[in-house]
Amino acid sequence: MPLFTRSAPTTPLDGVDLILADLDGVVYAGPGALPHAVESLNRASDGRALGYITNNASRRDTTVAAHLRELGLHTEPHDVVTSPQAAMRLLRDRIPAGSLVLVVGGDGLVFEVEKAGFRVTRSADDAPAAVVQGFAPDVGWAQLAEAAYALAKPEDEGGIPWIATNTDWTIPQARGIAPGNGTLVSAVHTAVGRLATVAGKPERPIFDEAVARFGAASPLFIGDRLDTDIAGAQ
Amino acid sequence: MPLFTRSAPTTPLDGVDLILADLDGVVYAGPGALPHAVESLNRASDGRALGYITNNASRRDTTVAAHLRELGLHTEPHDVVTSPQAAMRLLRDRIPAGSLVLVVGGDGLVFEVEKAGFRVTRSADDAPAAVVQGFAPDVGWAQLAEAAYALAKPEDEGGIPWIATNTDWTIPQARGIAPGNGTLVSAVHTAVGRLATVAGKPERPIFDEAVARFGAASPLFIGDRLDTDIAGAQ
């Protein structure tokens, strides 16, 4: 073996077959893309899959993909994994197809619930088979109370499952930092004394959903928040 | 001194010049009065003042008094001390008369804010001098977000005061246990990283307001909840 031969240099991308990127803080922060984000992601995706995962429960995958294409990324709706989609994976494991689901959230979540083959109600009086809760700007106490009524019975006493898309404590808005879905899930938790199963980052289901969708063996996740991103990717 | 004379028997009411009674769980539980509650309270009020204190921020004193009269109690609006009224005492100590106040809550709270001589806004963009937060069924994320924007600056850095009528964790409703005002205050707290000053039970301001209004020297408080009633009366 020659004295000065060395092995090829390695990079963090060697052997990686799927890159999963967070959106807020990685691709953009506010309206525009972060410097170098678009070129770097487009280059890194040469020869491997590139997906995006987002805890945001109020935008559909098509809307997210359109936004990313505007920024210069080559993104299709299939490349976007949302926390409502991960929540549907959990629901399918727990309740029969076609069941009635009480939705706390907005149109984006309703869309996914119906696309997954479930029926939607807004009232605990309809005896739903599960509650799914995600953020939307029009969520208020009345929706939280419906969830509390539907979840009054503990799950080990025959109570129904409760899936939260995510429990982000804050949500950055143009006018400042606002309370996130975690605070609204917590409000219901306080009333019912039980915890939701969480689909989004940093919990596993959204990573499982992404890895399953892309059939990846060695995914790499790019995030910026220790609490929601780094913890979940491990 | 005759051998068998004894002093007059004492009762818990000896020396008491004001009885303050909680409403839910003391006067009524659900639609009707509790057994013996009305006769006992009417009898106990012979020769002393009888007042009622309530954390409920969605009913006015006139509405509460009318309800109590329907149940057979001799109650005037002046006898009812609400957590919004106690919140106004706190506001008057902290901001100038006529100031603009951001209200998170319903008509009952707006009524007290205006009666106390303040002006009401619903938007953080109006640069309010304080935030006051109470329960109403139509409170939702949008109102909580306005509070968070208005309270972004810590009070020791020139931020504005934040008064919560109460922080009851749950609120009993006809259909079950629902999230109380405490959960909605907590949502804002999570976003802004600071705590509200609380007017209602078990905090002191509502008791101070009642004692001041009746000019009492030896009040006795009748409550049923260890967390909100007993702790505060001590």
Is B138 an interface residue toward A (CB < 8 Å)? Answer: yes
Q: What's the average model confidence in pLDDT over A26-31?
A: 83
Q: How far apart are the first and last CA of chain A?
A: 38
How close is the nearest chain A Cα to the Cα of B146, in Å?
Answer: 8
Instruction: Calculate what percentage of chain A has a pLDDT beyond 70.
Output: 92
Q: How high is the pLDDT of residue B51? A: 96
pLDDT tens-digit map of A105-149: 999 999 999 999 999 999 999 999 999 999 999 999 999 999 999
Question: Mean pLDDT lowest for which of B51-60, B67-76, B218-227?
Answer: B218-227
Contact A139 B141 (CB under 8 A): yes
Chain A residue with minimum CA distance to B176: A149
Fold of B18-82+202-233: Rossmann fold (3.40.50)
Q: How high is the pLDDT of residue B4? A: 58
Instruction: Give alpha helix (H) positions in A45-80.
Output: 61-70
In the predicted model, is pLDDT for residue B108 greater than 80? Answer: yes
Q: Mean pLDDT, chain B, as a whole number?
A: 91
Instruction: Calculate what percentage of chain B has a pLDDT beyond 90.
Output: 77
- Would the CATH topology of B18-82+202-233 be identical to that of B84-198? yes
Is A217 an interface residue toward B (CB < 8 Å)? Answer: no
**Structural domain boundaries of chain B?**
18-82+202-233, 84-198
DSSP state of A105: S
Task: Please tell me which residue, B39 or A25, carries the higher pLDDT value.
Answer: B39
In the predicted model, is pLDDT for residue B58 greater than 90? Answer: no
ipTM over 0.85: yes
In the predicted model, is pLDDT for residue B154 greater than 60? Answer: yes
User: Per-residue DSSP letters for chain B?
Assistant: --TT--PPPP-TTTT--EEEEESBTTTBSSSSBPTTHHHHHHHHTTTSEEEEEE--SSS-HHHHHHHHHHTT----GGGEEEHHHHHHHHHHHHS-TT-EEEEES-HHHHHHHHHTT-EEES-GGG--SEEEE---TT-BHHHHHHHHHHT-S-GGGTPPPEEES---SEEEETTEEEE-HHHHHHHHHHHHS--PEE-STTSSHHHHHHHHHHT-SSEEEE---IIIIIHHH-
Q: How high is the pLDDT of residue A100? A: 98
Task: Please tell me which residue, A31 or B216, carries the higher pLDDT value.
Answer: B216
Contact A187 B187 (CB under 8 A): yes
Inter-chain contacts counted by CB atoms under 8 A, chains A and B: 115
**Residue B233: band (very low, low, confident or very high) from pLDDT cuts 50, 70, 90:** low
**Catalytic choice (A22, A61, A168, A229):** A22
User: Taken in order B77, B133, B231, B27, is the CA torsion positive or negative?
Assistant: positive
Is A28 an interface residue toward B (CB < 8 Å)? Answer: no
**Catalytic choice (B22, B61, B79, B229):** B22
Instruction: Calculate what percentage of chain A has a pLDDT beyond 90.
Output: 77
**Residue B97: band (very low, low, confident or very high) from pLDDT cuts 50, 70, 90:** very high
pLDDT tens-digit map of B194-223: 999 999 999 999 999 999 999 999 999 998
User: What superfamily would CATH give domain A84-198?
Assistant: HAD superfamily/HAD-like (3.40.50.1000)
- Chain B interface mutation, best of A58, A141, A227, highest count of B Cβ atoms under 10 Å: A141
Contact B179 A148 (CB under 8 A): yes
Check if A24 is active-site. yes
Contact B145 A173 (CB under 8 A): yes
